[in-house]
Amino acid sequence: MPRQLCGLTTGVVRVTIVEAVTVIATESLSKRFPRVTALDRLSVDVGPGVTGLVGANGAGKSTLIKILLGLSPASEGRAEVLGLDVATKGADIRERVGYMPEHDCLPPDVSATEFVVHMARMSGLPPTAARERTADTLRHVGLYEERYRPIGGYSTGMKQRVKLAQALVHDPQLVFLDEPTNGLDPVGRDEMLGLIRRIHTDFGISVLVTSHLLGELERTCDHVVVIDGGKLLRSSSTTDFTQTTATLAIEVTDTDEHPDGTRAVRESLHARGVEVLDGSNGLPGAGHILLLTAQGEETYDLVRDVVADLGLGLVRMEQRRHHISEVFTSEEEQRKEAAVHGS
């Protein structure tokens, strides 16, 4: 729900900007291998919250995470994580951040509890604290009785939860999640995304999550960073991506007086000079949804008054966001056009 509000009013967005302290900052960060340039003068600032890192395979996502963990020196430029320089404070950074790799990383012959306790100790937690934090964290990620069984018998969804738990067990200030929804079915995917959202809202831990599915990031992230070929394509907040135009979706009930309430509202709004689109998209059953462009507060009032005058019930009035992918598609088209014009 707070996310919806965030989309409705720009005021909330401003508050996050005021709070913003940089969690990750890179400055013309480059990483060159003998044959490939993995990162090319990447400068990006990431604030607290959930940040999506998008890029195709080989775009430099993993290389960036490696450098940010202080495990691989940058060829050029500098980077800071939580205000610590990655070149000199690698160990301090790794004590304060968590990392969930993309690939499998769990030994099958130990239980989730034993494994996560061990990983907690590897993060520097004393034995008792490690055990307590493990129990807490496994519960938070949704593993209960099964945590005493060997990991080998777990489903993919449960394994992903264990991987997430080991990244959170030492209560880091920031976690890197590499493709956390890989291999999950739609339900598992939704649960994982909800969990990622909670990592920030409930646990207060900032998240850098990579994915190649834009739809996921749109639902989960406050901020999206797009890299391609090691270069920064775009970095902006999700609301910027999706709030270029605010579309309002309304659905009303029918009454005896107005057997087709939807049409009555449309005509009535049209009479007052408001453009109304059909929200059906040719899908059956969706014809009851009207889409209109919100001009500001007065549009909401107008809709309320019109519906009240007609004596109908207002079932739904919600902000429809544009999808990030649409923004990207249009941007790509623009770039292509520019390229055509350029040549």
For another protein, the binding residues (CB under 8 A) are 62, 65-66, 69, 71-72, 91-92, 94-95, 98-99, 101, 103-110, 114, 118-119, 121-126, 129, 133, 136, 139-140, 150, 166, 170-171, 202-204
Other residues' Cβ atoms within 10 Å of the Cβ of residue 156? 13
Shortest spacing between CB 133 and another protein, in angstroms: 6
Nearer to another protein, 63 or 262 (CB): 63
Shortest spacing between CB 205 and another protein, in angstroms: 9
Nearer to another protein, 152 or 311 (CB): 152
Shortest spacing between CB 140 and another protein, in angstroms: 6
Nearer to another protein, 146 or 267 (CB): 146
User: Using CA atoms, how far apart are residues 161 and 142, in angstroms rounded to an integer?
Assistant: 7
Encoding tokens for residue 281?
């998209």
User: Side-chain half-sphere of 79: how many Cα atoms within 13 Å?
Assistant: 31
Q: What's 20-53 look like in SS3?
A: CCCCEEEEEEEEECCCCEEEEEEEEEECCCEEEE
Shortest spacing between CB 126 and another protein, in angstroms: 6
Write down the H helix ranges in 245-323: 261-271, 297-310
Nearer to another protein, 71 or 315 (CB): 71
Shortest spacing between CB 118 and another protein, in angstroms: 6
Shortest spacing between CB 105 and another protein, in angstroms: 5
Nearer to another protein, 99 or 241 (CB): 99
DSSP 184-235: --HHHHHHHHHHHHHHHHTT--EEEEEES-HHHHHHH-SEEEEEETTEEEEE
Shortest spacing between CB 69 and another protein, in angstroms: 6
User: Using CA atoms, how far apart are residues 139 and 119, in angstroms rounded to an integer?
Assistant: 16
DSSP 78-121: EEEETTEETTT-HHHHHHHEEEE-SS----TTSBHHHHHHHHHH
Nearer to another protein, 14 or 139 (CB): 139
Shortest spacing between CB 63 and another protein, in angstroms: 10
Burial 137-152 (b: 16+ CB within 10 A, else e): bbebbebeebbeebbe
Nearer to another protein, 72 or 182 (CB): 72
Instruction: Yes or no: say if 147 and 113 are a contact pair by the CB < 8 Å rule.
Output: yes
Nearer to another protein, 94 or 266 (CB): 94
